[in-house]
Amino acid sequence: MHRNGERLIAVRPVIDAGPALNFFSINKQRLLIGVLGPLSTPETVQEEVFRKAQKEHDRFGHAVQVWNKLGTYLQVLSDDLSVELAQAVMDVAGTPMTDRMKTSKDLGEIMVISHALVAAMSGKHVTVLIDDAEGRQLASIQRSRLARLRLAGNQQVGLIMLIGSISVLKLAAQSGKIRDRGEMRDIYARLRQLDTGLPPIEASGVLQSELWKHRKS
C-alpha cells in the first residue's frame, strides 16, 4: 500500500496470519487493538488470511468480515519489491526476495519480520505478533542482531519486540481489558479451539495471580 506516492513503512505492530485469524474469528479484534493499538500486516498475510478463511469457512470465515470492517485500524503493507525490503528478506530468509516470494511456505512470517526489520533499520521500534514457532525463531534472530548493533554503538537502528497471543492475553488481564479469570477461560478456550498449538490454559500463565491483583477471580 502506498500513500502520496510513498511506500508505507511499518511503525504499528505487525501481525501474522495466525493471531489475526484466531482473534478476528472469535470477534476479539477490539481486545487485540485495545492492547496493541492499530495494526499493520503485509499483503502476503492478507492473502493468506483470506485464502484460509475461504478454505475453512466454518472455522475462520468470520475473520474476513472483521478484516473488511477494520478500516484504518489495519494498515496493509505493500510487498512490492524495494531495495530495503529485498535486503530485509535476504537477511531473514537467506534467499533473494524474487525467489522467496515464489514459495508460500512460511512466507507470511518472513514478510512480517522483513517489514519490521525495514522499520527497525530506519530507527524505529516495532512489535511483531507471531505465534508460529519457526517464525518466532526467525524473529528472535533479527531481534538479537539489532540489539547487538545497538550495543556496538549503532544507535541509528531501532528494535524488534516479539510477542505472541499469550502475551496479548496477559497484557489484557493486567490492563483490565479482560474482567476476570472466568472471561479469560472463555476467551482462551475459544482461541484454543482454533489453534491447538496453544498450551493448556493451566500451562499458559494467563491465570497467574500477579496478573489479577486487586481483581475478582
pLDDT in the model for residue 1? 41
Percent of the chain scoring above 70 in pLDDT:
94
Question: For the chain, where do the domains classified as CATH 3.40.50.1010 start and end?
Answer: 2-163
> pLDDT (tens digit, 9 = 90+) per residue, 84-112?
999 999 999 999 999 999 999 999 999 99
Residue pair 168/33 in contact by the 8 Å Cβ criterion: no
> pLDDT (tens digit, 9 = 90+) per residue, 166-214?
999 999 999 999 999 999 999 999 999 999 899 999 999 999 999 998 6
Residue pair 22/191 in contact by the 8 Å Cβ criterion: yes
Residue 79's alpha-carbon distances to 6, 118, 196, in angstroms, are: 13, 12, 30
Residue pair 18/130 in contact by the 8 Å Cβ criterion: yes
- Of 75, 50, 57, 60, the C-alpha closest to 25 is 60
Q: Domain 2-163: which topology?
A: Rossmann fold (3.40.50)
Residue pair 111/79 in contact by the 8 Å Cβ criterion: yes
Q: Around Cβ 81, how many Cβ atoms within 10 Å?
A: 11
